Amino acid sequence: MIDKQQDMKRSLDYLYKNELELVRLNQFVHELRKYDLAEILAYLADFPFQYVLNFLLSNPLLWVNMKPADWVKIMSALNPRPKPFKPYIEDAGYVDIHFLCKYVRINAIKLYLQQEKFTNNDKKKLLLYSNKVVSSLFMDELDTELLDGKYFVHIGKLENVRINLTSTGEIKELNYTQSELTKYIEKELKVL
């Protein structure tokens, strides 16, 4: 078990070190599929945020068939959450929220708050962080254009993932505008 985890860390370190040479990380996806995505993201939580987000977007085979419970497991693996405010703006310790809200378009904040086993302290940190980056939780035309299935996942695949994740009603689509999401976050902060 420890050997497998060490192998995973070595592979992820190698990928990061050779990020430019391995422009298409997809060639390593079979290697990465041996490992639990929750463990992968927990290890990558200290890496640069944009790298980790790109890692997810360019490796859809790692998450395309995941169920709501799998995402809750990832959320749990990323606990305890880092401080919401640091010298840098975005934090890979919250990459699940960015990925699910912005790209899959589900209300990952609500899903997180629903988890009784997560502490109020973590929930508060997640809300403060989400409030800070709320303008980055929405796609614009250029983001959409880059989701062409060549380097990043195709947008159609993300839509299928959203449909599958929301089909049981356990997870809601994120239908808010930015100002509505801000109000929702502020309301939840008052409740905590």
Partner 1 sequence: MASSNPHNAFISNKFPDEILDPFGKKFGEVQVKGGKAFLTNENQIPRDQVDFVITQDNCLVIGRKHTTLSDRGDVLAAGRLTFKNGIIRRITNESGHFRPTVEEGRRYPELFQSLGFDLTGAKFELYEFTLNSNGEVVNKSLAVDEYLL
Helices (H), 33-177: 37-44, 49-57, 68-77, 95-98, 108-113, 120-132, 141-146, 155-166
* Lookup: tokens for 77: 């693996």
Q: Does 1 bind partner 1 (CB under 8 A)?
A: no
Using the minimum distance from each CB to partner 1, give the nearer residue, 23 or 64.
23
Between 23 and 61, CB nearer to partner 1? 23
**Contact string 96-115 vs partner 1 (x = CB under 8 A):** --------------------
Which residue, 105, 96, 76, 103, is CA-closest to 171?
105
CA dihedral of residues 70, 101, 86, 57 (deg, nearest 10):
70
Q: Among 10, 14, 31, 85, which residue sits at the site for partner 1 (rule: CB under 8 A)?
A: 85
Point out which span in 68-76, 94-102, 113-121, 124-132 binds partner 1 (CB under 8 A): 124-132
Q: Which stretch binds partner 1 (CB under 8 A): 1-9, 13-21, 74-82, 117-125?
A: 13-21
Told to check if 64 binds partner 1 by CB under 8 A, we report no
84: DSSP letter: S
- Phi and psi at 154, nearest 5°, equal -75, 140
Q: How far is the CB of 117 from partner 1 (least distance, A)?
A: 28
List beta partners, residue 56.
none
In angstroms, rounded to a whole number, what is the distance separating the alpha carbons of residues 11 and 8?
5
The single residue among 152, 162, 166, 174 that binds partner 1, judged by CB under 8 A, is 152
The C-alpha atoms of residue 60 and residue 114 are separated, in whole angstroms, by 26
Quick one: which of 4, 34, 86, 183 contacts partner 1 (CB under 8 A)? 86
Number of residues that bind partner 1 (CB under 8 A): 30
State both tokens at 98.
């960015």
Q: Which residue ranges make up the site for partner 1 (CB under 8 A)?
A: 16, 19-21, 23, 46-48, 50-51, 54, 57, 84-89, 128, 131-133, 135-136, 140, 142, 145-146, 151-152
